[in-house]
Structure 1
Amino acid sequence: MTTTTQHLHTVVLHWADLHEAAGAPSTIGGFGLGLRAYLAALGDADQQEYDRHQAAHLRSLERDPMQLGVRPSPVRLHILETMATIHADLLQCADAIAETVQRRPIAPPAPRRAAYARTRGERLAWDDHARRVQAAQDDAADRRRWRWTGVRPDAPYTALWLLGRVQGAPGPFRPLAASEAARLAGVARSAAGQVERALDMAAQRRTLGQACACGGLIEVHGGEGRSPLAHCTGCGRIWAEGVIAA
């Protein structure tokens, strides 16, 4: 069973891959890509229906005020959107977890009036006061603390900070409660799943809205870097790259 630790590792280890994929062109080998060519053998009527849906989709984009027609993009926007969603979810989770598990900074001692230490006891008192002031400053500046203000950390750092809470790493924190661990586990699982789907790392299956000529449903299997494979649940026909089987 995949653990929260493994899910967070997936985000950290593959974040650079997402950056690279965002600037890479789409490939036929990805899940759900290139199926128009695979399903061309469904027949003219089915192909016309497919084209009609595609044309309606393009018209909806043209009506969108954010779109200026359909043109090639230098980046894969769906990858960037996935990265933004994962980052936002991780930040929100870390903000909430830190709110409850992170200990408040040590309160500094009250200021003392400047004075000359005339006795050994006074020197010891001043030294102790200085140590407590320094301890409070060091505790507040502890780099392991989660910060809600300033520049927000990136997704890998956030995932690693959450990983530290899962593993009970030392710092100004208490252990996670069961409810906090469950919430973190759900966010980590969702983030890892999005990474795997975006990079085509996990096996997937989808049912198309387009039906086979026999009226049966068409299921598409793919992922894990493999070319998509479609088959009809009614007549059993199979569509793959360059292969059509009855």
Structure 2
Amino acid sequence: MTTTATHLRTIALHWTDLHDAAGQPAQVGAFGLGLRGYLARLDAADRDEFNYDRAHAAHLRTQERDPLQIGERPVPVRLHILDTMRAVEAALIACADDIAHAAQRAPIAGPTARRTATHPYLTQREADIAAADRARRTQLAHADLVDPRRWRYTGRRTAPHAALWLLARIERKPGPCRRITEDEERRIGTVAAGAADRVERALDIAAQRRTLEQRCACGGAIDVHGGEGRVPVAHCTGCGRIWTEGGVIAA
């Protein structure tokens, strides 16, 4: 069984891969991309998904330019990858914000200045001891404020940072936080599972299986298998017909 920690590590480790993939042309053979062009008429529910044929045609149009033109061609952007990144980052940051609000303690307060006009030190030694104590408490307060284990509501708010911070909470690592509750752990688990699934589907690094709503001509259900870099294949559970991107290979 895949754990929440594994989901969070998957997101953190593959975030750079998503950045790279966002600027690359869509890959033929990714699950639900190339085959979907062939099976589009069989599955109306997939109309809102990324259409490989349309994106590939748009990419080819960018290559239709006068050879006398100079400069680099624009890099095609894969919008479904960018949408995945935005959705995953928003979900993880919102989850980290909520967990931090409930479980993270406030920074240690620094020392207040003593009013020596009304409360003077009796000796220089007493004044030196008080000054050293204030310096120590000031240093501790500053260290606690800038503790890298503290979740912040401004500044570094990225998906991998949120994933690693939530991972530390799941693994009960030390930091300026109390131990999270079972409900909080379940909340993190739900968000992490959904986010990791989006990342894996976007990068085509997980095996997938989907049953299309549209049925085969024989009335049987059509299952599509793919992912993990494999060429997707559709199989009718009724008549046994098998499709690939090239057409029917068995009937």
Question: In which range does the TM-score fall when normalised by the shorter chain?
Answer: 0.7 to 0.9
Q: Given the superposition, is the C-alpha separation of residues 38 and 141 from structure 1 closer, same or farther in structure 2, using an over 3 Å criterion? A: closer
Shift of 1:71: 4.2
1:103 aligns with 2:102: no
For structure 1, the 5+ residue unaligned runs are: 40-46, 59-69
CA distance in structure 2 between the partners assigned to 1:210 and 1:100 by the alignment: 46
TM-score when normalising by structure 2: 0.79
1:21-32 alignment runs, 5 A limit: 21-32=21-32
SS at match of 2:210: strand
SS at match of 1:192: helix
Shift of 1:81: 0.3
SS at match of 1:171: coil
- The amino acid of 2:14's aligned partner reads H
Shift of 1:18: 1.0
CA distance in structure 2 between the partners assigned to 1:163 and 1:119 by the alignment: 50
Q: Given the superposition, is the C-alpha separation of residues 128 and 227 from structure 1 closer, same or farther in structure 2, using an over 3 Å criterion? A: same
Residue matched to 2:17: 17
Residue matched to 1:86: 88
Q: 1:193 aligns with which of 185, 188, 197?
A: 197
Percent of counterpart pairs with the same letter? 58
Residue matched to 2:206: 202
Shift of 1:30: 0.5
1:130 aligns with 2:122: no
CA distance in structure 2 between the partners assigned to 1:145 and 1:114 by the alignment: 35
CA distance in structure 2 between the partners assigned to 1:33 and 1:121 by the alignment: 76
- The amino acid of 2:20's aligned partner reads E
For structure 2, the 5+ residue unaligned runs are: 49-56, 60-74
Alpha-carbon RMSD across the aligned residues, in angstroms, is 2.7
Residue matched to 1:167: 171
SS at match of 1:229: strand
Residue matched to 1:112: 114
CA distance in structure 2 between the partners assigned to 1:237 and 1:34 by the alignment: 18
2:35–2:232 CA contact under 8 A, matched in 1: yes
Residues 193-220 of structure 1: CA distance to partner in whole angstroms, max 9, x if unpaired?
1111111112212223443232333221
TM-score when normalising by structure 1: 0.80
- The amino acid of 1:32's aligned partner reads G
Residues 153-174 of structure 1: CA distance to partner in whole angstroms, max 9, x if unpaired?
2111111111111122222111
Shift of 1:241: 4.2
CA distance in structure 1 between the partners assigned to 2:80 and 2:229 by the alignment: 18
1:38–1:239 CA contact under 8 A, matched in 2: no
CA distance in structure 1 between the partners assigned to 2:100 and 2:8 by the alignment: 17
1:146 aligns with 2:151: yes
Residues 69-96 of structure 1: CA distance to partner in whole angstroms, max 9, x if unpaired?
x944821101110011100010001001
CA distance in structure 1 between the partners assigned to 2:11 and 2:192 by the alignment: 8
CA distance in structure 2 between the partners assigned to 1:35 and 1:109 by the alignment: 66
Q: Given the superposition, is the C-alpha separation of residues 195 and 36 from structure 1 closer, same or farther in structure 2, using an over 3 Å criterion? A: closer
CA distance in structure 1 between the partners assigned to 2:161 and 2:36 by the alignment: 40
